[in-house]
Amino acid sequence: MLTLFALLAGLLFGIGLIVSGMANPAKVLGFLDLAGPWDPSLAFVMAGAIAVGVLAFALARRRTTSLLGLPMQLPADAALDRRLVGGSLLFGVGWGVAGFCPGPALVALGMGETKAVVFVAAMLVGMGVFEVLESFAQRPQPEAA
């Protein structure tokens, strides 16, 4: 049952990205190009997504279990640190250069978009590099004599 709901949520999300234009890098870049012919339509998509998210998190905070009976797992840490800010900046630069972020890139990949193949490949390499660097950072350091 959990897998069915995950599939339905993913399909709904993907269809929403297609309908809103978020899976089209030209539309996204038109939104991000403030100096050129700016396309504000994605601002409405984002505002709607933020409104839904705020409502969903407000309701989720009042619950201990999800509608499927699973324990509620909400983020506990709200601190802004160097890693969060750096990752956000890197995400924003990538979004601005490519016109994709991970969700829309996967949808565009499923639609056969050639640029999405390159983006998803680069995203996977970046995730791999992060995992390797993180595993080195988590290793216990030998004590200096």
Distance CA 17, CA 14 (A): 5
Distance CA 25, CA 32 (A): 10
Give Cα 26 distance to the centre of its chain: 18
Q: What is the pLDDT of residues 116-134, one digit of tens each?
A: 999 999 999 999 999 999 8
| pTM score | 0.75
CA-CA-CA-CA torsion sign (73, 3, 24, 125): positive
Distance CA 15, CA 44 (A): 17
Query: 7: which 2 tokens?
Result: 């599939």
Instruction: Please state the domain extents for the chain.
Output: 2-138
Q: Give pLDDT tens digits along the chain (145 positions).
A: 889 999 999 999 999 999 988 888 888 888 888 888 888 888 898 899 999 999 999 999 999 998 888 899 888 888 899 988 998 998 889 888 888 989 999 999 999 999 999 999 999 999 999 999 989 888 887 776 5
Q: What is the pLDDT of residues 65-85, one digit of tens each?
A: 988 888 998 888 888 999 889
